[in-house]
A and B are shown apart, each in its own frame.
Chain A
Amino acid sequence: NFTLDNEVHSSFIHRRLKSQERREMQREILSILGLPHRPRPHLHGKHNAAPMFMLDLYNAMSTEGEEDGYSYPYKPVFTTQGPPIATLQDNNFLNDADMVMSFVNLVEHDKEFLPVRRHHREFRFDLSRIPEGEAVTAAEFRIYKDFVHERFDNETFRISVYQVLEEHSDRESDLFLLDSRVIWAAEEGWLVFDVTVTSNHWVINPGRNLGLQLALESTTGESVNPRVAGLIGRSGPQNKQPFMVAFFKATEVHLRSIR
């Protein structure tokens, strides 16, 4: 247990490194990780929804043990937010994946529409930074639905997720329906939509990535504000923000660049 063995767990840098040595060491390790430079994330929310989901997947990999190719000691980092949000299907995707990536929603503010217009939410994810040689094997769009006190227990909504094909300045965007299902007003938890085909399309054609739209309808076909149905948006808690996750398989061997 290396976390208890101070002799082993003590600093692995046993002497003060010169600036050049530190830079060289970091550059070497970054090259192993396949990174051109050290990332500088502008957001530091490890307890946001996407990092926590990814942590669930990481823990699932960590507890598989040596027979699956992962060495101990691995100290699983358990979340404090309740049961894991990764599903059994996610674990199945994980078994085939070399890399998993979650994407933050780039749409800063949810739009509010007049009652006469069609209510919808927009989401955009930047898939342009995916390393070369990685193919999408599965992708999900996840949005959290809270329990809604104000609605009737047996009330239902139809939730639909669309891929935006083309935007117009004078009318609604052209949409392609990806998934549609009925949800209960009393339902609570993560809603998961398969966007594998769409993600593959965006990776191959980054210029066609115009994002997703989500729309809600009542049983009478009336457009409903997603906020009314309990769907968490930008103004909601960080650990319930919508995000996208994609599973990748390497299609080519990664070669380190010549030094």
Chain B
Amino acid sequence: SAPAGTKQRNANRSKGANKSQEALRVANVAENSSADQKQACKKHELYVSFRDLGWQDWIIAPEGYAAYYCEGECAFPLNSYMNATNHAIVQTLVHLINPDTIPKPCCAPTQLHAISVLYFDDSSNVILKKYRNMVVRACGCH
């Protein structure tokens, strides 16, 4: 927020000192966040098994597929590999300042792939169908 005016110059001087301290605190938080790469938002392995569901009698192929999932922190600074939107970057900064009010952005899929499933219907006709948005290709902060 903008400073009030000249009458409050003395008050602003102390506020300025507080601001410097605040900036230092933000910088320390940023340094710690950037060092914590293991928990950053990224793609993780997840295999969905139709066989485990006991559906082999009607699903011909596949037996299962690698769906993946997204998990991780979307904390300042959002590196380029996190595929963050501009809004997510701004939200990260606001979260830094007001952590109790504004949450961090979410780690979620940004690109998804389709899969094809080959299966019997009740009449023993065979269906090959493409199902969109079934597999995570990339994760990002949103």
Contact = CB atoms under 8 A, between A and B. Distances in A.
Interface of A: 2, 8-9, 11-13, 25-26, 29, 32-34, 38-46, 50-51, 54-55, 57-58, 61-62, 66, 69-75, 77, 98-104, 126, 129
B57 A44 contact: yes
Interface stretch (B11-19, B40-48, B94-102): B40-48
A129 B45 CA distance: 36
Contact of A40 (B63, B64, B122, B126): B122
Interface residues of B, number: 39
B120 A58 contact: no
B124 A13 contact: no
Task: Name B's interface SS.
Answer: strand
Contacts of B131: 32-33
A2 B55 CA distance: 20
Contacts of A98: 129-130
Nearest to B50: A29
B46 to A, nearest CB: 7
Nearest to B117: A33
Given A8-B45, A12-B46, A70 B115 contact: yes
Given A32-B131, A46-B60, A58-B61, A12 B126 contact: no
Contacts of A102: 125-127
29 contacts: A2-B45, A8-B66, A11-B49, A11-B52, A12-B52, A26-B53, A32-B134, A33-B117, A33-B129, A39-B119, A41-B57, A42-B122, A51-B120, A55-B60, A58-B61, A61-B130, A62-B116, A69-B113, A70-B114, A70-B116, A71-B135, A75-B63, A77-B61, A98-B130, A99-B130, A101-B125, A101-B127, A104-B123, A126-B123
Interface of B: 45-49, 52-53, 55, 57-58, 60-66, 113-131, 134-135, 137
Given A62-B116, A99-B130, A55 B124 contact: no
Most chain A CB neighbours (cut-off 10 Å) among B48, B61, B115, B125: B125
Interface centre among B115, B128, B137, by most chain A C-beta atoms within 10 angstroms, is B128
Contacts of A34: 129
Contact of B125 (A61, A71, A74, A103): A103
A8 B46 CA distance: 7
Given A11-B52, A25-B53, A61-B116, A129 B123 contact: yes
A51 B60 contact: yes
A200 B71 CA distance: 46
Nearest to B135: A71
Contacts of B113: 66, 69-71
Contacts of B65: 71, 74
Given A39-B119, A126-B123, A69 B114 contact: yes
B66 A73 contact: yes
Contacts of A45: 124
A148 B23 CA distance: 89
B10 to A, nearest CB: 62
A41 B49 CA distance: 20
Contacts of A100: 127-129
B123 A8 contact: no
A225 to B, nearest CB: 28
Given A12-B47, A38-B55, A70-B116, A54 B122 contact: no
B44 to A, nearest CB: 10
Contacts of A77: 60-62
A39 B58 contact: yes
B53 A50 contact: no
Contacts of A57: 128
